[in-house]
Amino acid sequence: MRGSASCQRLTILSLAGVVACGHGTSLEAGVLHKGDVSVQVGPVPPTWRRVQVEGADLAFRDDEKEGAALFDVRCGRRDDDAPLTALTAHLVMGTTEREIEKQEVLPFDGREAMHTVMAAKLDGVPMQYDLYVAKKDGCVVDVVYVAPPARFAGGVEDFQRFALGLHVLSDPLSAGARAGAVDP
């Protein structure tokens, strides 16, 4: 399926299936603005092109490596107070035959993140995933890279620079508390 439209759709659709609803976002000068939160994104490789994926605040496609990257931030939800392992498991719901290759807690924007590298099938098709899940200031940050196993290694370093370069610039919990707002 290398380079095929069906592989591209599957990759993008797999990302759409692993995140919560995104809305009201804008990207200006490398800063994503969503409600009361602003996030400086990491370096975007020149081979990545931005795509629209329902349920993602930012999504990119790397046609050369057949990979896709997704970023989502959500704030103020009670169910997001779950442990990082539970939030990570929620991200991969819908996949089967999961094989975790690495799972570790590491520093991420001044907090801890669960970093998981895994192989799984989505609709019967083998895919390789690199996931970061972090909680900061009342928000959950999800960053996902997915590619076919044979192409994964070629794009994962670019993705990790992007993911680890993210920085939450505002405190949505304080702003939301002042306004009485909670992200639905």
Q: How confident is the model at residue 95 (pLDDT cuts 50, 70, 90)?
A: very high
pLDDT in tens, 121-150: 999 999 999 999 999 888 899 999 999 999
| Alpha-carbon span 134 to 131, nearest angstrom | 10
Q: How many CB atoms lie within 10 A of CB 49?
A: 11
Residue 15 pLDDT > 50? no
- Residue 16 has a pLDDT of 42
Architecture of the domain spanning 5-177: 3-Layer(aba) Sandwich (3.40)
What does the pLDDT average to over 139-164? 95
What does the pLDDT average to over 8-28? 49
CA-closest candidate to residue 13, choices 74, 49, 55, 57: 55
pLDDT in tens, 46-70: 999 999 988 889 999 999 999 999 9
Q: Where are the domains of the chain?
A: 5-177
Give the global pTM. 0.79
